[in-house]
Amino acid sequence: MGRQQALASAVRQATCLLRQSQSATLSEPVAEYGGRVSLLTGLSRTAWQTLPRSPASEAHRFFSTGPAEQSALAKARQAVNSITHAPGRAAKSASKALSGSSNAVYSRLPRQAQKLITSASQPGQLQKALGLQAEAFWQAHRRKFALAACALGAYFLWKTLFGVTSIFVNLSETMAETGFLALAVALVAFLYLYLRRKWGVNADTVYRNAMYQLNTNAGVLEVMGAPLAGSDVRAYVSSGGGLRLKGLLPRFRSRRLQMIFPLRGSDRRGLVSLEAKKLHGTYRFKLLAVDVPAAAGAEQRIFLEGDQQIYARGGVMGELRDPFLRALSLKEVHEEEDEMDDAAQEAEELQAERIREAELLSRKPKSMDEGGGMYAHERAYHSARGMWQRMFAPAQAEPAAEAHQGQEAARASDQASSTANMLPGDAQQQEPEGKVASEAATNTKPPAPWGPGS
């Protein structure tokens, strides 16, 4: 209690002294002595000091600087500071606790989330971080999104067509559903191909457009000679495309294509370098140049679109040019290598055919003279067959011979009867039966001709 009372008295004394210092006027001592006035901050409060000091100025002094007073004022100031700074200290401790808890939560987040928070905490990096995340997500799942969009579009289009047509035309449900489903799928597929053609870059289309511009340019035709012919040997680099964020709205990047291909004319040969951009479904050439070798040995570069600055930026054309020229110089070497490969392949095919024929010949049975023989089961079968023929062949031959003779006799009798039917009735009666039977049995003499003396 005594300590609190002393502290309260010190606070009251300090408050009283501060009020006295605020209500004091300093114009009189400054005007009277004309001295320099400086602001001093003592241990207890703010004081004014005039130089030089004189008894008159001491009379105007409105504070005392005794040791007891200074100690009391110091204690009072400490108490006041502790009371006034208590909310700030509490806020600092709370911020430290929050920072500790936030660090604990941050350490448990996935790495991608940590990168996103770190990028967002830096000024100007939020948009870049969001754009990177959106681009990565689009590249990983764009085919799924395209398939889902096509399926939903086909479904809603099918239902819309079926509902609208059912109002005006009375069709069977099965026929209408099947027909309109096929129509919806066809329309969605057509729309997909149209969008792909509009936003995608086709190297063949760029090549054809470049050849059209080259064949219609008078300067190139005059230098190289008409007509101009390209080549299927082309080198190109495709860039751009995908999503990007402009503000917070997603946008599609325009696609670009850098290409190099050789060009031949009736007088000279050259190398074409181009850069095309697909903007809203239309190809625009940022660069179209032809390098033609001059008579002095240096190259002459003809620009149809663009300039040297666009040609040299990024070094893309230079990187494409050197390996492309090296590949063109190896064209004859590649042709010779292809001929050698074809000859080697033909030789391999002939060798395989010979091996196949040799295997077929080796599988055929050989005669006894060539070293062939029989297996054990083949030899047993051959022996059994010979024994069967020797034992039962004569007994089977006699009935077979008798049957053969009977067949011959029947055939002869049929022939005789047919001949007799051709003769008149009297001759048939006079013909002896024994003679006909003997002729039919022997089958050696023809039947007697018909005549008046028979």
Q: Domain coordinates of the chain in residue numbers?
A: 2-84, 88-121, 127-198, 200-329, 330-362
Q: Which residues contact 446 (CB under 8 A, 6 or more apart)?
A: 439
- Tell me if 240 sits within 8 A of 131, measured CB to CB: no
And the tokens for 425?
């009735």
Residue found by looking up tokens 């751009």 in the block:
240
Q: How far is CA 43 from CA 7, 10, 14, 68, 377, in A?
A: 17, 14, 12, 12, 132
Write down the pLDDT at residue 4. 60
Torsion of the alpha carbons at 157, 160, 164 and 169, rounded to the nearest 10:
60
User: pLDDT 10s digit of each residue in the chain, 454 long?
Assistant: 555 665 566 667 666 655 555 444 444 443 433 443 333 334 344 444 444 455 544 444 444 556 666 676 677 677 767 766 666 666 666 566 555 556 666 677 777 666 666 665 555 566 666 666 666 776 677 778 778 888 888 888 877 877 777 766 666 677 777 777 888 888 888 888 887 777 778 888 899 999 999 999 888 888 888 888 888 888 888 887 766 666 666 677 778 888 888 888 888 888 898 998 887 778 889 899 998 887 666 778 888 988 888 888 867 777 777 777 777 777 778 788 888 999 999 999 999 999 998 888 877 766 655 656 666 777 788 788 888 888 876 665 566 666 667 777 777 777 766 665 555 444 444 444 444 444 444 454 444 444 444 4
d(CA 114, CA 92): 25
And the tokens for 45?
């409060």
Burial of 211 (0-12, 13-18, 19+ CB in 10 A): middle
Q: Write the CATH number of the domain with boundaries 200-329.
A: 3.10.450
Angle (deg, nearest 10), helices 111-121 and 126-168:
110
d(CA 341, CA 348): 10
Write down the pLDDT at residue 97. 59
Strands 282-293 and 299-305: antiparallel
Helices assigned H by DSSP within 234-330: 308-312, 316-329
- Tell me if 219 sits within 8 A of 265, measured CB to CB: no
- Tell me if 10 sits within 8 A of 73, measured CB to CB: yes
d(CA 57, CA 388): 166
- Tell me if 215 sits within 8 A of 227, measured CB to CB: yes
For the chain, how many residues are written?
454
And the tokens for 304?
């149809």
Write down the pLDDT at residue 348. 93
- Longest CA–CA span in the chain (Å) reads 212
Helix (H) or strand (E) holding 291: strand 282-293
Q: Is pTM, for the whole model, over 0.75?
A: no
d(CA 453, CA 24): 199
d(CA 92, CA 432): 158
